[in-house]
Amino acid sequence: MARLQGKVTVITGGTSGIGLRTVEIFANEGATVVFSGRRETEGRKIAEKLGDAVHFVRADASVEADMQSLILGTAEKFGRLDCLFNNAGGPAPVGSIETVDFEKAMAAMRLLFGGVLLGIKHAAPIMKKQGFGSIINNGSIAGHLAGYSTSMVYSSAKAAVLQLTRSAAMELGESNVRVNSISPGAIATGIFGKALGLTGQAAEDTAEIAGEVLAKAQPIQRAGLPDDIAKAALFLASDDSTFINAADILVDGGMIGGRHWTAHQESVKGLGKAFSG
């Protein structure tokens, strides 16, 4: 039996990358999927391609009216809301703390943190009333440690998402509503191109190049794929994870597990040479 058969799910930021692959996998596992994004043309094409169980709603995750309409509209149309994947995101200003553009930083925070906050806010009363639900937030290894993003604003927003996940889980868990997060590592998507100023398809086309560059950034020597995150989300959305709450699942190939073996051994060798010299 499909792992999400009969479940109604909402996925934000579903028109590309991790979000798109999650839409596809959830639909293949039997879910009714409502996904959102700001690019209406792309969203309509995806929904048409994936069939009658997949529905697109044009929504900006940083706008409360859009998020409220997306989530309440889904629950009203289908009679329930089993899972919300707060996935929508984007790049944030790069550079030194001395040069950061405050307005752009706040706009990034509004999407990266605010979109998650709004999703939880409007899903919570629905899920509490029905007595079940799974909320999944897209975090990042950059929210755990500094130096894993081109943007300290992005890192700070993701750290806030991780803490919000834990805080909301403590409250909503009492109503059998689970709140967890996934922290991706180096996933080959267009976000790296976007961070460097590219837009649209030009940014998406950088995913393959990013994968080649990132292949040796972690002990498992390949770049992460959207599939890796989507399958973690599938687990958290399914009944296989009903006793998991307030958790963050690292999907990073071991990137932040510690100092990498080869690099450590090379430094030891260098130390030995220095001593013998």
* Residue positions annotated with a catalytic role: 154
The pair of structure tokens assigned to 237 is 């959305």
**Beta carbons within 8 Å of 1's beta carbon, 6+ residues apart:** 30
* CA–CA distance, 43 with 20 (Å, rounded to integer): 9
Q: How far is CA 137 from CA 98, 117, 120, in A?
A: 30, 10, 9
Q: Are strands 32-37 and 8-11 parallel, antiparallel or unpaired?
A: parallel
Residues 154/91, Cβ–Cβ less than 8 Å = yes
d(CA 130, CA 150): 41
